[in-house]
Structures are given as structure tokens and as C-alpha cells.
């Protein structure tokens, strides 16, 4: 069984600050970060694929996927070079750039496999707007010093911080459940028929 440690981030000082608080528990081991508002469909083995890439190359691996150009300003935008199937090497990352400043529409999403060198990069990361320490800025520092890879994800993902994606996740994942799905799908079909009549 896993040992679970709970750490409270007392101030909202950014994801980078939150990650840095785990160092006492992680030590010198590689570790994964999974953001709770970024749901990956259970059928998609994204984290397992990232862990295999880390095991093969011994470096940090960041999940990424293509988003529309108009949405890139909500993400970290990756400048990369091809490496191998599904993997690119990160040259730089810009946190939430404007559409004009974004080097690509390849966006960082909420899964990371880090080597412990990320902690040193986080210590050297200068706080940005609002005093927040961005993990994206630390990844950018690390990528200038050693290989950091992005795994290009093409599967089903829900950003449940977005109200529409939250509803989509609830409906799609609920409809697929063995225990609730049949009854829920029946109700949903009836609801759609009623909505058409209104």
C-alpha cells in the first residue's frame, strides 16, 4: 500500500510552489504530478506511457496536446523539436502567451513526470505576476540544461475547471459506467427528446 502524505499550500503561490513543497517526501526520486482538474479518460494510459518514456531516457516528461490557436493563451506553449513517435524534445516553454507570442499550439496539460532536478530549477525560478512560481518557468530553465521531453497526447481529456468540459465529463463518464450507465443513458435520451419539444 502507498504511504499518503497531505501537504497544505497555505498561500496560492503557484503550481511551482506547490510542487516544491513535496521535496521532503520525494527526496532524490523521480515522481509524477497529476492535476485534479485535468481528467484523462480512464481508457487512455497516458501516465503509463510517460513513465515508460522516463524509464527509457531518464529525463522529465511533460504531457502535451495540440489545442486551438485561440485557446493557447490558457496554457503553457511549447517550442519543440521532433524526437521519436509521440515524443518531442522541449526547446522552450512560455506560460500563457498571447496567440501572437505562442511558439506553437502544443500546450502543456496536467500530467508531469519529473526528475528531482526540478526542485533546483524551482528554487531558481523568479516569481511572476501575483508572486506565483510557475512550474512552466522551472521546466523552461531545466530544458536549457538537460533534455526534457513532451509526450504528445491525442486521446480524450476533460478540463473540468471549464464548466462545459465539467458537464461533458460528467455525462460521458457517467454514461459509460457499468452500474449507472444503462439507466443514465435511458434518462438522457428521454431528456434530449423532451428538450427538442421545448
pLDDT in tens, the chain (198 residues): 777 888 888 888 999 999 999 998 998 999 999 999 999 999 999 999 999 999 999 999 999 999 999 999 999 999 999 999 999 999 999 999 999 999 999 999 999 999 999 999 999 999 986 789 999 999 999 999 999 999 999 999 999 999 999 999 999 999 999 999 999 999 999 999 998 876
118 and 198 share one domain:
no
Integer Cα distance of 145 and 140 in angstroms: 9
Beta-carbon contacts of residue 29 (< 8 Å; ≥ 6 apart)? 116
pLDDT at position 11 is 85
35 and 90 share one domain:
yes
- Asked whether residue 191 is assigned to any structural domain, the reply reads yes
pLDDT at position 35 is 94
Domains of the chain: total: 2
Q: 126-156 burial by CB neighbour count: b if 16+ within 10 A, else e?
A: eeeeeebbbbbbbbbbbbeeeebbbbbbeee
59 and 103 share one domain:
yes
121 and 171 share one domain:
no
* Domain span holding position 195: 161-198
pLDDT at position 106 is 97
149 and 187 share one domain:
no
Integer Cα distance of 78 and 120 in angstroms: 21
130 and 197 share one domain:
no
52 and 135 share one domain:
yes
pLDDT at position 144 is 96
Helix axes 163-176, 181-197, angle to 10 degrees: 130
pLDDT at position 138 is 96
Contact yes or no for 79/93 (Cβ under 8 A): yes
pLDDT at position 6 is 83
- Asked whether residue 62 is assigned to any structural domain, the reply reads yes
CATH number of the domain that residue 97 is part of = 3.90.550.10
55 and 133 share one domain:
yes
pLDDT at position 131 is 86
38 and 134 share one domain:
yes
Amino acid at each position: 500500500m502507498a504511504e499518503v502524505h497531505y501537504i497544505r499550500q497555505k498561500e496560492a503561490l503557484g503550481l511551482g510552489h506547490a510542487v516544491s513543497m513535496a521535496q521532503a517526501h520525494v527526496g532524490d526520486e523521480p515522481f509524477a504530478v497529476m492535476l485534479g482538474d485535468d481528467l484523462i479518460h480512464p481508457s487512455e494510459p497516458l501516465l503509463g506511457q510517460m513513465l515508460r518514456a522516463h524509464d527509457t531516457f531518464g529525463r522529465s516528461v511533460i504531457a502535451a496536446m495540440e489545442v486551438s490557436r485561440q485557446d493557447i493563451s490558457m496554457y503553457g506553449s511549447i517550442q519543440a523539436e521532433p524526437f521519436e513517435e509521440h515524443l518531442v524534445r522541449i526547446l522552450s516553454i512560455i506560460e500563457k502567451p498571447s496567440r501572437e507570442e505562442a511558439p506553437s499550439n502544443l500546450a502543456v496539460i496536467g500530467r508531469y513526470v519529473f526528475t528531482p532536478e526540478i526542485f533546483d530549477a524551482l528554487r531558481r525560478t523568479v516569481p511572476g505576476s501575483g508572486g506565483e512560481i510557475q512550474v512552466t518557468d522551472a521546466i523552461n530553465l531545466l530544458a536549457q540544461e538537460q533534455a526534457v521531453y513532451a509526450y504528445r497526447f491525442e486521446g480524450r481529456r476533460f478540463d473540468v475547471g471549464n464548466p462545459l468540459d465539467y458537464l461533458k465529463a460528467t455525462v460521458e463518464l457517467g454514461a459509460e459506467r457499468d452500474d449507472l450507465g444503462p439507466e443514465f443513458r435511458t434518462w438522457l435520451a428521454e431528456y434530449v427528446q423532451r428538450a427538442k419539444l421545448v
